[in-house]
Structure 1
Amino acid sequence: MTLLFSPSTVSLPVVGTADRFPVRRVYCVGRNYVDHVREMKEGDERDDPFFFQKPADAIVEDGARVPYPPRTEDFQFEGELVVAIGAEGVDVPAGRALELVLGYAAGIDLTRRDRQRDCRERQISWEAGKAFDASAPCGPITRGADVGEAGLTLSVNGEVRQRTRTGLMIWNVAEIITHLSADYRLMPGDLVYTGTPAGVGAVGPGDVVRVDIDGLEPLSVTITESGSHETD
């Protein structure tokens, strides 16, 4: 059998090494900070974690130029801690969940908010609002980081728009892995975006969006006019 084309593998750098982390799947946690639940006026404050996915090729690296996506007039940022999975696991108890973690990174869940709201009102999947091209910027992965109470800030053009600590997540990393592994077999190469705090907002062409998390490499992307994305 001859392949018609060779599928590309999206990967991320691992800090301090020449290694690359090949991305298999991208999971995202919705509604994982109380202030964001209140901000969006949806869900209860201790609902079970809500998961959705983005395609692996939605990942773009630090320094990327991200084109303003089509069919939206409300393109928003969500700064997040990202967990890189380095071992297989299914039905993983919370006491062993961190054994699956290879490292952590800073991430941005870019969202077509108007499309997401439309999906919610129509009671259909959030895919149109969440799973589009270049919608998952992710920074380099740091192995062995301690992010239990790390500070997280997101700034737009140098102005801080989101500020929190990862210890304020409703569901911590171990609990997220436990819940997620009950529905999916987690595998090396999986990324988990762990949710965003309050302060989400719109961006447009020319805006520089940066996420800083204590102990991790920063992530910065520039929003451009519509078109294909590229990296500096």
Structure 2
Amino acid sequence: MAISLPHQRPSSPSNSKLHQSLLTTLSPLTLTHTHLSLPQYHPTLLTTALAALTKIYSLPFTPSLPHLLSAILPTSTTPILLDETGALLSGLDDQATTTLYIQAVTGLALLCENLSKHENLTAGMVERERRLFEDSKQKMEVLERIEDGGLLGECYTVEAVVEYIVDVVERQHQEEEQEGLLVLEGVEVEEVVTNEKVDWEMGSRPYGNMGLPWGFTIMALN
């Protein structure tokens, strides 16, 4: 028996498109026997989700659902979610199906975020972003946290699931920014050291020639 309960805990309102898109696409989740699930999953849920994401992110056209899913989930998994007969899905329990759906719509939302940054979006840009996302650290981090983080065991409302995922994405962004700063700082230090070494060897710094007139050097004594 599916029942509806108020949000697990008060949450601060978020106007981010990611929050909005996840709240919309995860709305089919219901609380059944103390855990969130999709009691009547059907591939049309993903079709509807992608149409909603296309509208939220103001994409000029709706990319191919199977094509996008192939960059989000393993090759063997995509046909299961797209099988309208339900034969392939019958081998999965409710929790596995629900987790796959959450992973799928989260990946679609993140891909649509990336696509929305392009003006005059083309099929070529979609393919490029799809390939970048397929091998991205962001994808692995977010989808693994959804699968291994006890999401369905700890979150009892759609809003709680959305907050959990948004938090994972934001933390991942922060880690990437910190890594980027460390790389930049490393480059700057290396360049400074290298420049000082060159300046010393060329004698262009005030102390490069130890105060001797130009052309004179100090010879090392044996």
Taking structure 2 as the reference length, the TM-score comes to 0.31
Structure with greater Cα Rg? 2
Query: Per chain length, whose mean CA-contact separation is higher, i.e. which structure has more relative contact order (CA < 8 Å, sep 6+)?
Result: 1
More strand by share: 1
**Higher helix share goes to which structure?**
2
